[in-house]
Structure 1
């Protein structure tokens, strides 16, 4: 029995623009804009063709299907993630800058949360970043599989903190609840847990974004502390 054949837009040479057709860069840029505006459900070849004032069939010169278009758009987002030179900044500072950059890129493009683990990240931007991350942890002193495990620990932390935030921000619930009613509901739900209720500072619900940023910072420092501790031992 043979498995499903693996395909990717990155496994073939990109086709040159057809005159007076659009370039692949223009198509990908428009696709990212459409995804930012309407999400994954709002992306279609027909809508993209209308946005570019081009027929949907002309887009198939560059991509075979919607998944290939998503691969191209996905790699554009990877290109927005910054990783400073770890030789000068030090691996902890470089890893911190990268983590914040990944979080910002995902929040700017919330549709990416649904593509993680679903589409292969084989584009040049994603592969370049992955290679630089590997070198960063290697320079820090990690060896063998620990390089990959350190890499996975950092990215998993960013994904784990950011994906639920995106889910809340993009859901109807995230915009519909009245803050006062929500505080009252939380207090009522936790009434049987006085110790827990005492720890809930309801005023912080007024600025959940600040609270999330503080939580992200706390967790990131803890992850980096843990990685540094492993190096020391």
Structure 2
């Protein structure tokens, strides 16, 4: 397999790094120690994880970008001991989970070595971006449904995602994107992959444009009237 450094462990780190995008700073309220014993991680082949939770009161999570993600106000959250601590770690990544036993959000800090870490953007959609598809008109939905909502998505990508990726490129081993389906000829021409390093973006865009123009992407208008039964009125 090519690029053997991309191990299963790296792909596990991906989830943690995506969650790190939304990690926010918290206040330092009163703390107390709790033990979520039912969720203690134990594997004889590995190690015993001491799941000692530190409780913080009056915390607001995800407050970095309130115009895109609504801040989450919590009466309390828990901080768990670090789960991953790589030798030579230079990245601090927070993972979030909800514990029904502790009845609260649990934040798990992790220290990763960027040289062994990948960031994967999951399925970025090219809709309403002046290049890919557009929602069918005069009535139809795609991606976040309406063109107005798609504009918010595109602005979020521009304001948050792209700067985050640019800031991390020099600190991680690999930045990649996952696409739905299989590697068809058009996308193979446009995008590099693990097995494909040769691309021709101009040719790929021409092929995609021809493919898009060959399809009827127009939507039907909203139905003006339709027949209803007086005896079967249901809301």
TM-score by length of 2: 0.28
Structure 1 or 2, whichever has the larger Rg, is 2
**Structure with the largest fraction of strand:** 2
More helix by share: 1
